[in-house]
Structure 1
């Protein structure tokens, strides 16, 4: 689920100022593929989930109830989701900059 969220930015189709050129759709497809293939963002998301799980387990164990497992799950979700949102934003920015680099007037 977290990985799917991170990939959503690569599916972004931006808004143009003006009429799309004949090459626009092919360029969108190419730029989306470029953004999707940035797998280092996936590794960052996995790392954030692992760190979140570790921190959550420690904090959960320190709690009066001593629920390290619950803390680990909550920490993994928080870390993974936060990183997935960031990865999605970065992939969306790649699509936008790629299209601008190909001469399209992208406004958002």
Structure 2
């Protein structure tokens, strides 16, 4: 598979995972309040709208690609392109996981701010 095709597929997979934290539904302590569903939808939308996390993930992907290319080229006759692909994948996954965790935290804190008793 060509490196450019691999990177495009990786980018597509990361984009698909980008909103996973925003779709989080937390566990409540006690009964569900009447406004919970509308508050949950609003808090999930707030988390989903934080596009700076997508930019951070893209930055992590680029940094990973650069570091991987340097390490690949520094290895005895190794492939810089292969190192760049591996580094981009590692950086992109790490960035996507971090963004997902931050979006999930936004959902939890938003619901707590609206008076819901969230335990996890």
TM-score computed with the length of structure 2 as normaliser: 0.88
In structure 1, the residue matched to 2:76 is 64
SS of residue paired to 2:27 = coil
RMSD: 0.7
In structure 1, the residue matched to 2:102 is 90
Q: CA deviation at 1:2?
A: 1.1
TM-score computed with the length of structure 1 as normaliser: 0.97
In structure 2, the residue matched to 1:18 is 30
CA distance in 2, matches of 1:66, 1:89: 35
Could you tell me which runs of 5 or more consecutive residues in structure 1 were left unpaired when the two chains were aligned.
none
CA distance in 2, matches of 1:3, 1:86: 13
CA distance in 2, matches of 1:74, 1:33: 33
SS of residue paired to 1:7 = coil
Could you tell me which runs of 5 or more consecutive residues in structure 2 were left unpaired when the two chains were aligned.
1-12
Q: Is the 8 A contact 1:10 1:32 kept in 2?
A: yes
